[in-house]
A and B are shown apart, each in its own frame.
Chain A
Amino acid sequence: MSQDTSFAASSATSTPSASTSVAELKQIAAQVRRDIVRMVHAVNSGHPGGSLGCTDLLVSLFFKVMKHTPQPFDMDGRNQDLFFLSNGHISPVFYSVLARSGYFPVSELATFRKLNSRLQGHPATHEHLPGVRIASGSLGQGLSVATGAAQAKKLNGDDRTVFVLMGDGELEEGQVWEAAMYAPHHKVDNLIAFVDRNGQQIDGPTDKVMHLGDLRAKFESFGWRVLETDGNDFEKLLPSIEEAQSLLGQGQPVLVLMDTQMGFGVDFMMGSHKWHGVAPNNEQLEIALQQLAVEKAGDY
């Protein structure tokens, strides 16, 4: 796995590798969470809640699971595993993980949401930020894109995997179900989709805003293999990802319903939709950073 050492020098992270230990992943996750709260605090905007909740998944994928080449960035990603973020508002975690796994300098995180930045409020390819392969933010589109990319891999004889993350509230978009119907029909079995099941959306708990029902039964009835796991516990998450990988190549796409807590790692942000799109103030930032301690400080 290639990583420019100039990036590693400014970070508390270690080189991505299949042998990365859970202890190391926890350190990386803490650093990523520090990035998230600092990034949204700096511009007093952005989405910390879902970002903190999905940190453990993205750290697992980018620092342990995926075979990927950060530099030089190749849009086509031939013979690499690909990751698509469908719920683009959690861009802080995506950007932090991309930077810390070597796609661009960690120092660039300081430009998040600022004028002339490559780190747009929601991920975009328009400014050519390495690591981003599709714009997302308008919800419900990522599963379709990931499925298309997975089919391109099959046509190319490329046996790597396409990963995609969606929010649970996002499943209220109809396009998700068009793609959910399509992927099993076309036997897209090199695709692992994750749902960030935090049970929250902007107007409140998903159960109150729009009940999602039995997601396992829904996806299984469409022809998916479905797993459930804890998205904030590496000891459970990593084996689930391994199991998902073991189910590939059998004619069915795989879905992982991942229970997370919005705001995970910062106690006053946890379990509430209130921190969906709100940045911490100065005092709250200090409290958050105290809770997100790392052994070796590597803030950007």
Chain B
Amino acid sequence: MKDFPYTESKDTRSGFGAGLHELGKTNPNVVALCADLIGSLKMDAFVKDFPERFFQVGIAEANMMGLAAGLTIGGKIPFTGTFANFSTGRVYDQIRQSIAYSGKNVKICASHAGLTLGEDGATHQILEDLGLMKMLPHMTVINPCDYNQTKAATLAIAEHEGPVYLRFGRPVVPNFTPADQTFEIGKGIVLNEGADVSIFATGHLVWKAILAGKLLAEKGINAEIINIHTIKPLDAQLVLESARKTRCVVTAEEHQMNGGLGDSIAQLLAREEPLPLEMVAVNDSFGESGTPDQLMEKYELNEAAIVRAVEKVMARRK
């Protein structure tokens, strides 16, 4: 099992804030909108240095999505910022009609996704956002794993023509992705090559998959660990190559089973290469209040859960 050294832990939302600030300097068409959550989205630096390109919308997310669609008419590249719940479920029809169906070049940037928002509870923890967004035709859906990758993804989506949903979060997690790694939309990253099982993880669960890989190595299991940062379009070629090699698959994500990464990979395998699959994800449940670590343990989204899923799927392998 490869080692993944890191010098510090950081929150992915700060990677977004840093990327947005850099875009402010490098791309004059980038504009930003926020619904009363500048600090939470780490947009402060952009707001300070590019006030003429920042639009405070107030607590009015529906209007924010419409404004963003309108700003594209005239060549702007709008980045909207609010929590994942208010970026998706609250404004689904606005995104559907004014952005996705209208093919507008809007970047929907969503923080505090998943359970790791913690104590605020289920009203603010969305576990359905990936599914909601990936169902929209032509929507690109990205869930990076750490600070560096979130920053790189933020830069990359500005260069991509079309609507994008970029999901990140609040907790600090090990920042192990190389700072100079280019972000390629739709290209998964093989973190550790292995022959016994394929673990496809996204977002905060990528680090958990690395921890699981170490535990599995101690048991003599050589796991292939792949970071699927782009849920849609899915890197089908990479997924199939790995699955055909290991003959069994585990997916891991901070999301409902329904509609998430595991769902996408299950569909792909069912069509192309039926193989046993286990999903580490939330099973048809809302979240609740608690610390992020407590919640990830209770809802079985940690390295121990991944190890259990690997053992189960390997036992099912023919």
Contact = CB atoms under 8 A, between A and B. Distances in A.
A-B interaction? yes
A141 B75 contact: no
A133 B73 contact: yes
A98 interface: no
A148 B68 CA distance: 6
Given A126-B103, A141-B94, A175-B94, A152 B63 contact: no
Contacts, number: 118
A158 B71 CA distance: 13
Contact of B74 (A78, A125, A137): A78
Contacts of B74: 76-78, 149, 152-153, 155-156, 158
Interface of B: 31, 52-53, 55, 57-58, 60, 62-76, 78, 93-94, 96-98, 101-104
A82 interface: yes
Interface string A188-230: 0000000000000000000000000000000000000000000
Given A76-B75, A152-B76, A144 B101 contact: no
Most buried by A among B67, B93, B101, B102: B67
A123 B62 CA distance: 20
Given A124-B101, A135-B101, A148 B69 contact: yes
Nearest to A158: B74
Given A76-B75, A148-B68, A156-B74, A178 B97 contact: no
A134 B101 CA distance: 9
A182 B94 contact: no
Contacts of B66: 141-145, 147-148, 175, 179
Contacts of B57: 182
A125 B97 contact: no
Nearest to A143: B66
Contacts of A153: 74
A151 interface: yes
Q: Chain B contact residues: over half helix, strand or loop, or mixed?
A: helix
A146 interface: yes
Contacts of B69: 134, 144-145, 148
Contacts of A144: 62-67, 69-70, 94, 98
Contacts of B52: 155
A137 B67 contact: no
Nearest to A180: B63
A137 B75 contact: no
Nearest to A86: B66
Interface of A: 75-78, 82, 124-126, 133-138, 140-153, 155-156, 158, 174-175, 178-179, 181-182, 185-186
27 contacts: A76-B73, A77-B73, A82-B73, A125-B103, A133-B73, A134-B73, A134-B98, A134-B102, A134-B104, A136-B97, A141-B97, A144-B62, A144-B63, A144-B64, A144-B65, A144-B70, A147-B63, A147-B67, A151-B67, A152-B73, A155-B74, A174-B62, A178-B60, A178-B62, A182-B63, A182-B67, A186-B55
Nearest to A140: B62
A83 to B, nearest CB: 12
A175 B92 CA distance: 13
B101 A148 contact: no
A229 B61 CA distance: 32
A124 B64 CA distance: 20
B208 to A, nearest CB: 39
A126 B104 CA distance: 10
A125 to B, nearest CB: 5
Given A151-B70, A178-B62, A181-B60, A145 B98 contact: yes
Given A126-B101, A182-B63, A146 B76 contact: no
A148 B70 contact: yes
Nearest to B74: A152
A182 B66 CA distance: 12
Contact of A175 (B63, B70, B73, B104): B63
A181 B58 CA distance: 10
B212 to A, nearest CB: 43
Nearest to B52: A155
A135 B60 CA distance: 21
Given A135-B98, A181-B60, A146 B103 contact: no
A147 B98 contact: no
Nearest to A82: B73
Nearest to A151: B71
Given A141-B66, A145-B67, A155-B31, A182 B60 contact: yes
Closest 7 CB pairs of A and B: A148-B70, A144-B66, A152-B74, A178-B63, A178-B60, A148-B67, A149-B70
Nearest to B94: A141
Contacts of A82: 73
